[in-house]
Amino acid sequence: MIKVPQGKNIIDAVATVGTSLERFVWSTLSKAREWSKGKYRGIYHFNSKAAVVDYMNEGYPEVAKKTSLLQLGLFVTNWKWGKGAVPWEKVYPELRWLQLFILTYIATW
């Protein structure tokens, strides 16, 4: 889980800014293993991002107070990667309208 050491390095660097830090925004995800009560153990990109938040909360509470956590789960540009990055088509084919809406929004943006 390379994201954990990289994330910790970022948090360590942010902590050196000190009192001049106004706001830190961290893109994160929830603890999939914990919230699923152990059912989903291999969702490393979720669990690793959550581990970095835990590291920040425990080691740098002053940074945590100035942090906004952004949890998107799916970025609006994921559609560019192809069908593998369009989970609602796999599980909910009736939500095809959502994909079309997103593509239309991006095209007009």
Which segments of the chain have a pLDDT < 70?
1-2, 73-109
Model pTM? 0.68
d(CA 68, CA 10): 15
Q: Structure tokens of 9?
A: 């390095």
How crowded is residue 63: how many other Cβ atoms within 10 Å of its Cβ? 20
d(CA 59, CA 83): 40
Domain boundaries of the chain, sorted by first residue: 1-73, 74-109
What is the DSSP pairing of strand 67-70 with strand 24-27?
Answer: parallel
d(CA 33, CA 12): 25
- Dump pLDDT digits (tens) for 60-84: 999 999 999 988 766 666 666 666 6
